[in-house]
Structure 1
Amino acid sequence: MVEPAPDELSLRALLLYALAWSGGAIAYVPFLTILLPLQVTVLAGDRIAVSWLAYILFAGAVAASLGNILFGYLSDRSGHRLGWVTLGLGISGALLLLMAHATSFVTIIVLVITWQLGLNMMLAPLAAWAGEQVPDRQKGLLGGLLAFAPGMGGLAGAVVTLPGLAAAGERLVLVMVMVTACVVPLLLFGPSRRPPATGSVPPDEGDGPGNQPGRAARARLARRMWLARLAVQIAEAALFSFLYLWLRRIDPTMDEFRTARVLSLVLLAAAPIALLAGHWGDRRNRPIAPLVVCALVASVALLAMAAARSLTTAYAAYALFGCATSTFLALHSAQTLRVLPRSDRIGRDLGLFNLTNTVPSLVMPWLTLALVPYFGFPGLFALLAMLSLCAVGLLSSLRLHP
């Protein structure tokens, strides 16, 4: 076995982190894509389920946005990342179990808000931990490993919705058990010392011959990375929460298990693609090239989804879109760690970057309500394809220094 360089993390440590990050995805993917929409549909009926879900997702996204920045900053100040992760794991797990007892719109929305706060108490310090630990030359590999997280989340959704396996409340218990099993190994066996891994610039450094790029240059790179991710994430957010409802428009017999199976297969297929693309970017020192290709493929897939009239066509177009966006988001998350301006505020800055994940959830419900009743899902997908092309333009000329 090849030993890592002194300032690199071992493969074991990277795998432990990737497993923990997968636990974070398992915590929210089955719930937000399948279990919550299903619970809302049962309580509200098909007629107003979209409206209920839109309001709930909006409130949850606001809580997630604020919570990620807050707990990232608090973990910066305390210096104990994994302690916050442990606390967030316990709080979010307890609140998730309470969801089964929600029988009204108000109860659900309150629980989702508090659950999002607890979940981001775990996720924000976990993301900052990677920023401190993983050197730039391992960022592509890290991104590839992170791509397995959405697939694990989708697979968890397929497992818990297996017919006859578990009732509604028992599904949430299964989710929590899987999350705990993924996160606890990092808490027990993860690296305890901080290597000099971040590429971020201390607060007193700026541009200069001996500091390439400096803090101002990194800030400019970060803004373009932020906008590109936002454009792609808006498209991804639409399918994340409305995939089940879109497929039911095409085929009213579509059920939650078939939707979860499609989602999990697509996300799992994206993982090896991202791993290969990330490794290629590390070896060739071209970390942005895979992002450009993925954004372009996503725009083409969205146009195909807009034209889909059968389940077969819809599955194929969504598979292309899901693989492209999952690869993009995983690799983008890792490469973002290279452009953070301040090494002493990694958690806070990642919280601001996390707005690209949560702001789309604030926008998409209202955009969906405005467009779908008049233009259907095809009109929505055509607009999202244009946004993905904007990401291509933002990233095409961007260069990250080695």
Structure 2
Amino acid sequence: MHTVTPDRPHHQQQSLRFLMLYALAAAGGSAAYAPFLTLLLPVRVTGQWGAQGLEILSYTAFAGAVAASIANIVFGWLSDRTRNRRGWILAGVFVSGVLLVAMQHVETVASLLAMIVLWQVGLNMMLNPLLAWAGDCVPDEQKGLLGGLLSIAPALGAFTGMIITYPGLAGGDTRLVLNAVIVAAMILPVVFFGRPRPMPHLVTAMHEEGRPAEHAKDEPVRRMWIARLLVQIAEAALFAFLLLWLRSIDGTMTDNDTARVFTVVLIASVPLALVIGRWSDKVDRPRLPLTVTAGGAALGLVALAGAHTGPTAMAAYVLFGVMAGIFLALHSSQTLRVLPRPGTRGRDLGIFNLTNTVPSLVMPWIVLALIPAFGFQGLFLLLAGLSAVACLLLATMPRI
């Protein structure tokens, strides 16, 4: 039975219509970059530059991550200052869509890098204000439900990739246009028709820049940031190198096998995240699911280190992937609970976004340093240790 503590008064809940449209928009945010970065860009680069493709993709990944890190903070800050989340979301949808379609005209590596940087700027013009808008509109009593709904985003992003790459549906250039149209169709409904109920208590300090919210403390913020970074490093490493490792222990493994196990993880994570998130709202235990899933991710990585056959390896990855997927979805919503100042919510979310971009910058160096000396088992054990530290940080942090 849900109980309301004296220091957490019950407020009006946000409408289900807004939450559902917002979940669709969050999925549109995932669809805005996942199909392009994982499918369309690699095919275009390798087709245009051949053997140089891998090196060029590495450059684009690095430049894009740096641009995304900076732009997310800048546009978060701007959406705070202008107090206009929806305007920035609309501008970001338009700018990122136009630049995505314009990728078809890129002919040199220099122009590709420039376009990737500009596209990341437009993309984060939309992504940060979109997440910050949830902080302005969704009360703490619904943060768990919000996190469960956010778990749908990666699955729909992957599904969008399947649609636009369906054989015979569209050519290379048309796929870019189709991707941009689908993203707009997913994000614009919440902007125009969401009509969220006003939540004055969530934006009380919007007009009082620099004044901390009374219930917030800096310590939970630091712990939440570090915990997400550690789990994200593990998730990024597994996503990038799972196929290579599976083939090293079972030569019959194919890219389709890996795609299927990724799909199983995405599908399984959604209902579990919804149920667990809703449960955490009812019992007012927002920290517990994060602690348990971080620990579960660590156990999955230990199992990966001990796996010696393809089926056991895939089972261990499913355990890790599902736990990490639930953790990241619920963490995204619960982060909105601990940010110290509503008036700088967008900027602070930009700083939290570094936990999404920094792993892609540091992960390759970790892998290159460990695998030659200790093999994949050493890598998995290190990643298990990182996830275990995340679990410990959350288990011992003050109540959020």
Shorter chain as normaliser: what TM range?
A: 0.7 to 0.9
C-alpha distance in 2 between matches for 1:13 and 1:71: 23
Residue among 79, 92, 95 paired with 2:96: 92
Please tell me the residue identity of whatever aligns with 1:368: V
Question: Displacement, 1:157?
Answer: 2.4
Taking the TM superposition and a 5 Å limit, the aligned residue runs for 1:3-402 are: 7-43=12-48, 51-191=55-195, 194-198=198-202, 211=214, 213=215, 215=216, 218-243=217-242, 251=251, 254-255=254-255, 259-308=258-307, 310-372=309-371, 375-401=374-400
On the 8 A contact 1:372/1:379 being kept in 2, the answer is yes
Deviations 1:206-239 (A, max 9, x none): 69xxx4x3x4xx2111011111111111112223
TM-score, scaled relative to structure 2 = 0.87
CA positional deviation for 1:27: 1.1
Q: Which consecutive unaligned segments of at least 5 residues does structure 1 have?
A: none
| Residues 229-267 of structure 1 deviation map (CA, whole Å, 9 limit, x = unaligned) | 111111122234445655566658734x66545433321
**Are the equivalent residues in 2 in contact too, given 1:99–1:111 (CA < 8 A)?**
yes
Query: CA 1:28/1:262 → structure 2, altered by over 3 Å: closer, same or farther?
Result: farther
The superposition leaves residues 57-106 of structure 1 with CA deviations (integer Å, 9 ceiling, x where unpaired) of 22111111100000011111111111111111111112222334445543
- Shift of the 372–27 alpha-carbon distance from structure 1 to 2, 3 Å rule, reads farther
SS at match of 1:337: helix
Contact 1:14 1:142 in 2 (8 A): yes
* Root-mean-square deviation over aligned CA pairs: 2.8
Q: List gaps (5 residues or longer) in structure 2.
A: 1-9
> Once the two structures are superposed, what CA deviation does each residue of 1:367-400 show, in whole Å capped at 9, x if it has no partner?
3344445555444333222111110110012233
Deviation, 1:184, is: 1.1
Counterpart CA distance in 1 for 2:14 and 2:92 is 25
Q: 1:344 to 1:205 in 2, by over 3 A?
A: closer
Q: Percent identity?
A: 53
- Is the partner of 2:340 in helix, strand or coil? coil
Going from structure 1 to structure 2, the CA distance change for 1:380 and 1:343 (only over 3 Å counts) comes to same
Q: Write the deviation string for residues 341-379 of structure 1: whole angstroms up to 9, x where unpaired.
A: 111111111111111111112212333344445555444
Deviation at 1:283, TM superposition (A): 1.0
The answer on whether the counterparts of 1:269 and 1:323 sit within 8 Å (CA) in structure 2 is yes
Shift of 1:19: 0.6
Q: SS of the residue aligned with 1:398?
A: coil
Name the TM-score, length of structure 1 as normaliser: 0.87
Question: What whole-Å deviation, never above 9, does each CA across 1:159-188 have from its counterpart, x for those lacking one?
Answer: 333344443333333322221111010111
Distance (Å, rounded) in 1 between the aligned partners of 2:257 and 2:179: 18
Distance 1:253 1:273, change over 3 A: closer
Amino acid at match of 1:11: L
SS at match of 1:7: coil
Shift in Å, 1:192: 5.8
